[in-house]
Amino acid sequence: MFMIFFLALALSVILIVLNSSISTKSIFSREKISPFECGYDPKSMSRLPFSLHFYLLAVIFLIFDVEITIIIPMPILFNWMEQEMWLGLTLLFILILIVGTIHEWNEGSLDWQK
């Protein structure tokens, strides 16, 4: 039992040492320190700051995209629910969307010209 354990341990150590001695890593290689741009040398700095406004607009788009996936099954639910409950649920959901859009508009998140 111990012999198998020590044999496996020795084999693992030998393979790790062999692997580290065979593989030579070049940390400061030209390809590793430059950004990848379709095989061409970059003409400007690749680490430019991104627009926070664009990020907020992208998050708003994702939120509305998820809301669309919630709206799509609404006609199917019409057959399974009572009409008054379905109408109330749909109007509540649309009201939340409208209030959220008005809030984002008043906040200035939808103004791209800033």
- Tokens 């788009």 correspond to what residue? 61
Is the confidence at residue 91, as pLDDT, over 70?
A: yes
The Cα-based distances of 11 to 5, 6, 7, 8, 25 in angstroms read: 10, 8, 6, 5, 23
> What is the pLDDT, as a whole number, of residue 33?
65
Mean pLDDT of 45-74: 79
> What is the pLDDT, as a whole number, of residue 32?
64
Mean pLDDT of 11-15: 95
The amino acid at 7: L
Q: Does the predicted TM-score (pTM) go above 0.75? A: no
